[in-house]
Amino acid sequence: MNALLNIDHTIMEKAFYERDSRCDGLFYIGVKTTGIFCRITCTAKKPKRENVEFFKSAKQALDEGYRPCKICNPMEARGKTPEWVTIILEAVNKNPAARIKDRDIKNYGVNPARLRRWFKANHGMTLQAYLRALRIGEAFGRIKLGDAVIDAAYDSGYESLSGFNDAFKKIFDSTPKKCDMAEVIKTTRITTPLGPMLAGATDEGICLLEFIDRRMIETQIKRLSTRLRARFTPGINPHLIRLQYEIDQYFSGARKQFSVPLAAAGTEFQQKVWRMLQRLPYGKTISYKELAQMLSSPRSVRAVAGANGDNMIALLIPCHRVIGSDGNLTGYGGGLRRKKYLLDLERSKMNQSN
């Protein structure tokens, strides 16, 4: 599956030699001298330009006789969690309070040093820091529901209340009794053909879904934390599990509407715009002006555009379907090439069903 893109070779060449992650998954390169094809962010030594040809899909490269690169694994969704990491995560999710030491990791056939490097590269923290954040997040959820701090501490695997309080303070900047945070936002990585996305969810629903390489993502996270009076911790909940399933269906063309609950945080006007965006038909586009008119506020085109740009739940609130009045693509947080990919994907699936 790949949308029918129209990207000229000059743009492809620039993106490949600069390893532009925003274009990863949009096209692939074949190396004539080795017979191997790669994703554009491959870390292998870059070949000379005369030895490179471009493909708009992995299938196209395979049809031309190229073999997938073993370094960048172009047949997998970018950002997909390796199986050897998944084994550890499954063990953690079964018993978040358990202590996992290097010898336990080795018993699963995994190299502890390799695992530490993967967590640092993909989560910005070690496995042990990830586990601490996971346990604290679970404990905070229990405390919110009325459990005693000491019960939550010991049930989370802490051997002393002081140790629990110290760990809690590192994450929430406060002790459990004084913490005024209203929410914990559990976060995980969602894999897509266009690269990994950071997903966040409260007990109510999905509140964040952004491409990890979006330049504004740190600002979005801070804004969301302030609006919901929340802290982010690694974790999983039923909404996040459902989200990955629905995202996979969307990219395969099997899903045209999302059903996972949302917990979008914004002003009353932003909420109106986002609800209207969710009503936009799959495969259709609309201009900012037309969207303002649908909201019975024809003079608020600029405000509508601002609300569109402030959307923190990509794909589910389909801001990629909004274009300029002249029909040209306009700004998109994930990058215009991703926006074009999504629109081409939806149109191609609509044509197939007609």
The CATH number given to 9-68 is 3.40.10.10
Say whether 77-179 and 9-68 share the same fold: no
pLDDT at 189: 82
Tokens at residue 258, please? 């999302």
Domains of the chain, by residue range, sit at: 9-68, 77-179, 181-354
CA dist 340 and 345 (Å) reads 8
134 alpha-carbon distance from chain centroid: 18
Q: Which residues are catalytic?
A: 319
pLDDT at 152: 67
The CATH number given to 181-354 is 1.10.10.10
| Residue 343 neighbours by CB under 8 Å, 6+ apart | 3, 285, 320, 321, 329
pLDDT at 257: 92
pTM of the model: 0.64
pLDDT at 3: 35
Q: Which fold has domain 77-179?
A: Arc Repressor Mutant, subunit A (1.10.10)
> How would DSSP label each residue in 27-91?
BEEEETTTTEEEETT--SPPPPGGGEEEESSHHHHHHTTPEEPTTT-TTSPTTPPPHHHHHHHHH
Q: What angle do CA 69, 75, 80 make, to 5 degrees?
A: 105
| Residue 143 neighbours by CB under 8 Å, 6+ apart | 149, 152, 176
Find, among 38, 229, 271, the residue nearest to 140 by Cα.
229
pLDDT at 97: 66
Can you give the pLDDT of all 354 residues of the chain as single tens digits? 333 344 556 777 777 888 877 677 777 889 999 989 988 888 888 888 888 888 877 778 887 888 888 888 887 766 667 788 888 888 877 776 677 888 988 998 989 888 888 887 766 677 877 777 777 777 776 666 667 767 766 666 666 677 676 777 776 666 666 665 567 788 888 888 888 888 999 889 999 999 888 877 888 888 888 888 777 777 778 898 899 899 999 998 889 999 999 999 889 999 999 999 999 999 999 999 999 999 888 888 899 999 988 999 999 999 999 988 888 888 788 888 888 889 999 988 887 766
